[in-house]
Structure 1
Amino acid sequence: MKSISDIAAALQGYDPHALHADAALQFLAALVQPVQACEQVTIKSALGRVLAVDLVSPIDVPAHNNSAMDGYAFDGAQLRGGTLRLTVVGTALAGTAWSAHLGPGQCLKIMTGAVLPAGVDTVVPQELVETANGCIHIAAGTVKQGDNRRLRGEDLPKGRVALSAGRHLGPADLGLIASLGIAEVTVVRRPKVAYFSTGDEILSLGEAQREGAVYDSNRYTLFGLLSGLGGVDFLDMGVVKDEPNALRAAFESAAQQADAIITSGGVSVGEADHTKAVMRLLAGGDAGVVFWKIAMRPGRPMAVGRIGNAVLFGLPGNPVAVMVTFLAFVRPALLRMMGCKAEPLPLLQARTVEPIRKKPGRTEFQRAWVSTGPDGILQVQTTGQQGSGVLSSMAQANGLIVLEHHQGNVAVGETVRVMMFEGYL
């Protein structure tokens, strides 16, 4: 397990007080390691889990040569130009094999998925033939030999890897697993994530309002973001007051129960905040935790490190900054912890419909709405005020405009990159 100082030393130009967003991702990729433990689960329990070992197909898919559509099956070698006349001698249905033999000049009415008998390699769609007196007539050029059939093992031959280890299993994967006759799969144990909010000004839902206090929104945002990952278990530890003993007890309890700890608040420069001091104490000083000032907006302050065996993510307190830093940094780190080889959220290209102000020297994530323009090209516009405490503009967004470190102002009609929220892809 690499120490904080070892990881920092390996990053060229690393500066925790002016850290590029890309460098933060590289640091976290070295800090966070995949969970090693595995377990067997049923298919219905596998959604959102990460496959621990390669899943090898035990059968050919499809298991037989079969028809790709409803029509008439025959030996395609008889197609020699001109109209072909064939006598219909039977019907093959999906799920039951037609065991007789087709002779020259004969064909078989066949349904989609039905097994093709030996010597039969071509299917003509039923709507492309003329029928009369128990025969069909196929005009020249209607089909070629081998058309409209699925070959045995064409989709997946026996012995081939159907799904690779590290796959974040989705609905289509569950169907594929079931199609192979497999009832259970080996998945990575779900990492456990403990999270809580800090600060004397934070109210839990149900508490009476008081001057200078705000209701805690961050825990509910984190609940939604963690739920979207699917492959983690999580523990909501509530609101912890900015008091050293309370903070220490919360961190120690979280570290004993979880693989990762996420906090919001208390990592910026503030005389009243004890969170940083407790983090440093429990992490073993600067060797176990580092406090970043990331060149980004929103979400500049962030703490990362280890308390015991748990990885620590100390996020800013502002609601939008919590969501942005989670999507930009914590999400890919947790996916790595889950054993997932999935790529980061894809960045789409969209055309701006308004000018965007941006200072070079920091990465910016601006809340935005992406839609399809009249010409069919994706277009994007911001969703109002971009302050890090304005959660309403985040709720109105379906993605984030990602403006790179070196970029300046963006003019109307320029193309920008957009990170879409999950559920909008």
Structure 2
Amino acid sequence: MISVQEASASILSHLYKPDTRRVPLQEAVGSVLAEPVTADRDFPPFHRVTMDGIAIAFDAWEKGKRTFLIEGTQAAGEPKKTLTSAENALEVMTGAMLPAGTDTVVRYEDLAIESPNATITVDNITRGQSVHRQGQDAASGEVLLSPNMILSPAEIAVLASVGKTVVKIKNYPRTAVIASGDELVEVGQTPLPHQIRRSNTYAIEAAMKTLGWKGDQFHLPDDKDTLRRSLEKILKQYDSVILSGGVSQGKFDFIPGVLESLGVKKVFHQVSQRPGKPLWFGASPEGKTAFALPGNPVSTFMCFYRYILPWLWTSLGIEPRQEYAVLAEDFTFKPQLTYFLQVSVKNDGGMLMAYPDAGGGSGDFANLKKIDGFLELPMERSEFKAGESLPFIPFRA
């Protein structure tokens, strides 16, 4: 049995190597960028007016001029106009090109306009005010987006601004999500007294979908020969498999042995943790990975977020983000195991407070609806005091 830290390190030493594809810009949000994106011109591409008002030559103001003849209007989207006299002004609209011969914009709120003249009514203005200078944000050829970024709506706006109609992104691993167990029936069936509906694979697939990651569900029986035939086919078609159930030491827990018989070498089996102690992880010489999670729902849920999610992000070139929360009340856990405490969280004055709600154990999946994640309590201690900051593994946005 290995520690949580050893399990994490072992998993992260067997990363998926993603290939890439090109998708239309409208389909790229939530994906991981696989190419650098550069500015195709200066940003902004011209001296841009940022306030409605008049554009003047600051030197005229500096020489004492306060009333300016308005020669005309420079609207947004029009070619650049030219001020014919440094003693005059042009009305300008937000987003317009700054007219030639001007360098400063005075907003309407600081003017008294009696057509055709505008008088500046404030005592102080500064040269270049209310002008967004050409190239101020980025120069032509400058890298705006780097590979390995998750494309949020903000990055989509940048891609659109440089004319990227098609975007190169990284492919997620093709993944099979597999439930095993004769006690499981489909969601739409009425279970007999000795049966339960299959839920773990739906939870895993839903978690994957929130990341833009697709998985295909399978249900396999507790029969060694059937498991072997089915897993052999699945391993040929998928980059990774996530299994739920059949990994403990029971008489019908065939998954570890079957995987190894198919060339998926065991990296570790069993982790010093609760829940999720029977966790099994293996990899094949071809780079296929298998996560065999305990069948108890809370164990499955925790293992996905604690181990599989960091593996995915690291494989895609993204550094997993470690969050922390403050324990809101004293808690005791005596076994020499890392304990993943179920908690609900609340932002209290900018501090994320974690309130324990252990529920009925790893089989109490109904308790998941009341919590927001898991607080990771180290195995070296048994007493944890309110006010301690500890690693937090969230599963809600």
TM-score (norm 2): 0.90
Residue 378 of structure 1 aligns to a residue whose secondary structure is strand
Provide the residue aligned with 1:341 in structure 2.
317
Aligned to 2:240, which of 253, 256, 260?
260
Q: Distance in 2 between matches of 1:123 and 1:361?
A: 69
Are residues 1:289 and 2:282 paired?
Answer: no
2:214 equivalent among 227, 233, 238: 233
State the partner residue of 2:330.
355
Partner of 1:9: none
- Residue of structure 2 aligned with 1:397, choices 355, 365, 371: 371
Q: Shift of residue 192 of structure 1? A: 0.6
CA RMSD after TM alignment: 2.5
- Partner residue in 2 for 1:189: 171
How many pairs are equivalent?
Answer: 395
By how many angstroms is 1:79 displaced?
Answer: 4.8
Q: 1:169 — aligned with what? A: 151
Partner of 1:117: 99
The question of whether the paired residues in 2 share the 8 Å contact of 1:83 and 1:139 is answered with no
8 Å contact 1:82–1:139 — kept in the other structure?
Answer: no
Identity in percent: 27
Q: 2:210 is paired with a residue of what secondary structure?
A: helix
Listed one character per residue, the Cα deviations across residues 375-413 of structure 1 (whole Å, up to 9, x for unaligned) are: 454333134516111112212223332334445433334
**Residue 324 in 1 paired to residue 302 in 2?**
yes
Tell me, what secondary structure is at the counterpart of 1:283? coil
Number of the residue aligned with 1:366: 341
How far has the Cα of 1:205 moved from its partner? Answer: 1.8
Aligned to 2:12: 29
Distance between the aligned counterparts of 1:409 and 1:83, measured in 2? Answer: 76
Q: What letter is aligned with 2:166?
A: E
Q: Is the 8 A contact 2:2 2:271 kept in 1?
A: yes
- What's 2:249 paired with? 269
2:182 corresponds to 1:200: yes
- Once residues 172 and 318 of structure 2 are traced to their aligned partners in structure 1, the CA distance between those partners, rounded to angstroms, is 16
What is the 5 A alignment of 1:396-415? Answer: 396-406=370-380, 408-415=382-389
Instruction: Provide Cα deviations, 1:33-69, integer angstroms capped at 9, x if missing partner.
Output: 322x322211012122222221222222221110123
CA distance in 1, matches of 2:335, 2:141: 53
What residue is the counterpart of 2:280 in the other structure?
303
Letter in 2 for 1:223: E
Deviations 1:102-150 (A, max 9, x none): 5323232222211112343322332233334521314223x32222221
- Supply the AA of the counterpart residue of 1:265: G
Q: Secondary structure at the match of 1:88?
A: strand
Per-residue deviation at 1:253? Answer: 1.6
Within 1, Cα distance between the matches of 2:123 and 2:76? 28
- Unaligned runs of 5+ residues in structure 2 are none
- Give the whole-Å Cα distance in 1 for the aligned partners of 2:350 and 2:246: 45
Check whether the contact 1:48–1:168 (CA below 8 A) recurs between aligned residues.
Answer: yes
Amino acid of the structure 2 residue aligned with 1:412:
A
SS where residue 262 of structure 2 aligns? Answer: helix
Any gaps of 5 or more consecutive residues in structure 1? 1-16
SS of the residue 1:393 aligns to: helix
Q: Contact 2:16–2:173 (CA<8 Å) still a contact in 1?
A: no
Question: Aligned partner of 1:331: which letter?
Answer: L
Q: Residue 309 of structure 1: CA displacement?
A: 4.3
* Paired AA for residue 363 in structure 1: T
Deviation for aligned residue 1:304: 1.4
Matched, 1:41 2:26: no
More moved, 388-397 vs 83-92: 83-92
Q: Compared with structure 1, are the counterparts of its residues 417 and 331 closer, same or farther at alpha carbon in structure 2 (3 Å cutoff)?
A: closer
Residue 340 of structure 2 aligns to which amino acid in structure 1?
A: F
**1:381 pairs with 352, 355, 367, which one?**
355
Q: Which residue of 2 aligns with 1:14?
A: none
The alpha carbon displacement at 1:297 in A equals 2.4
Q: Look up the match of 1:10.
A: none
1:96 and 1:147 map into 2 onto residues whose CA distance is 21
Give me the whole-angstrom Cα distance separating, in 1, the residues matched to 2:189 and 2:377: 39
Residue in structure 2 matched with residue 248 of structure 1 by the alignment: 228
* Change beyond 3 A, Cα 1:181–1:51: same
> What displacement does 1:83 show?
8.1
Q: What do the CA deviations read for 1:330-382 (whole angstroms, capped 9, x no partner)?
A: 11212334xx2323244144x44332334485433322222233x45433313
**2:119 is matched with which residue: 136, 143, 155?**
136
> What secondary structure sits across from 2:225 in the alignment?
helix
Q: Deviations over 1:83-106 (max 9, x none)?
A: 843333222221112412253232
Q: CA–CA distance in 2 between the matches of 1:253 and 1:408?
A: 45
